Structure 1
Amino acid sequence: MTERKVDDATGVETTGHTWDGIEELNNPLPRWWLWTFYITIVWGVLYTIAFPAWPLISQATGGVLGYSTRGEVAERIEAHEAANAGLVQELNAVELASLAPGDDLHRYAVGRGASVFRAQCSQCHGQGAAGFEGYPNLLDDDWLWGGDLANIQATIQHGIRNETDPDARFSQMPAYGEIFEPEEIDAVVEYVLAFSREPENPDLLPLGEELYLDNCAACHGDAGMGDREQGAPNLTDAIWLYGSDREDVEYSVINARYGVMPAWGQRLSEADVRAVSVYVHSLGGGEVAPSE
């Protein structure tokens, strides 16, 4: 052990540590610092007793004050719901098509629907609702199942091609790769693309037309305009859910597509479903209800 000694210049005992000939003095810590340190220890102990602190297997110690951040959030949510209970009741009872932009209830529905959309729908349709490949753009007026409020609500409520809601909207395109020969695939693709662009190989159009009318027109229509009752897309508007390249269209013909949307009526409250329906309808592509 290094022998400690008293520094001649200061009269303070050294610690015995020396670096480059410089000895470390054993000066005590300032008393104010020590007392501050002791207070923080006491404060920490009291805090862990009073508030949730120590993690256990499935939860943390509750603390004698019974404080809970989750409880505080729950109280705020409950207070918010209580404050809007009247509007929620009106929203659940009103005919959505009767809501006029600018009305208090319409503004509430749009605001609430926007929050629901950002939390639940934006992962697929994007924050701005412009969609991605395989997920429809909700800003335009190209609707597979109809763009009026009633149809939007039905799509959100029941979803599409899911296995959880018996009222889910359902349609299925055959995989023609198991039906057509390769040259027939080429002909059908050429004919379908010719609805919206100049054909690259006009010689394939007669065969493509024959195959299309025999196999595809029942859903997409003789003129390729689609059928919303079946969710069959319009092939003439150059709006392609899965891509407009020849390879994309060929893949759709060969393998078919089977997009699935959840039944949000099983996950959201009625008010949330109705609110997000109003919000989506208000984005710019919403349509008026078809006349009876």
Structure 2
Amino acid sequence: MTVPTTSAPVEPATATVTAPPLRRKRHGWRREIIVSLILLPICLIWIYPFLWMVGSSLKTDTEIFGSMSILPEDPQWENYSRAWYEANIGPYFWNTIFITVATIAIVTITTAMIGYVIGRYPFPGKKALVVVLIATLFLPEGYTIIPVFDLINQLGLSGSLWGIILAESGGAHVIQIMLFAGYFRQLPRELDEAARIDGAGFVRTFWTVMLPLAKPAIATAIILSLMRVWNSFLIPLVLTLPQPELRTLAVGVYSFQGENMTDWSGMAAASTIALLPIVIVFLLLQRYFVEGVAGAVRG
């Protein structure tokens, strides 16, 4: 005899969807608003000199010191024409581009190779070499200008753009070297082993495997070198004394200051022309700049 069994009806399972806590959302919005309110005045203070320079480039000398407003009452666009043609900022601009591009190419290749060796290979005296490189950061540029000038003069490159390129690219460039060393250090070791199995040597492994993976570090090195070479003043000033037509932008802007008076509006216009390329390049490469610094820090 079978005893009938009664089973409770099975209710279909319903998935419960939990909405994100409203309180947490409100807390996140409040935090973002507070952080934005704190950072906004700091950003305005930070960029005020740049805005003042751009505004002053469209004013007269009297209006620059007679008004605290950034915006000009009557924009003086002829300041840029005077700076470009009459003050020879145009030729100085192209001289600076040539020097900067050539120096960046040399510095990026040399620092990448040095950083690759330091970051990937152990060798005797490695720590001592790193200490010496870092110590050069504390050596003022003015202490080395005499031997640099003497070397360039003995090579017969004094008073030429190639002499400036050699002098600018011949420094230690410690920041770029450490940047590449840290970035290459965090790459997997299996890449070297795979390249070695394929028969690649040191140079081929560096050019075909490692360097293409270091695009963020390369972009960061380019930005750092660009800011340094584009704004360099002492080396171009000393090496272009015999030939003023070979001046760079930094030296050319200084020429607006005379013995008896200073053309402040022309200097502001020339400075704006000189800074725009750096701002544009940084905006284009800022994502790679952050990735390169983050990768070097992780390494």
Q: What band does the TM-score fall into relative to the shorter chain?
A: under 0.3
Higher relative contact order (CA 8 A, sep 6+): 2
TM-score normalised according to structure 1 size: 0.22
**Structure number having the greater helix percentage:** 2
- The two structures have a TM-score, normalised by structure 2, of 0.22
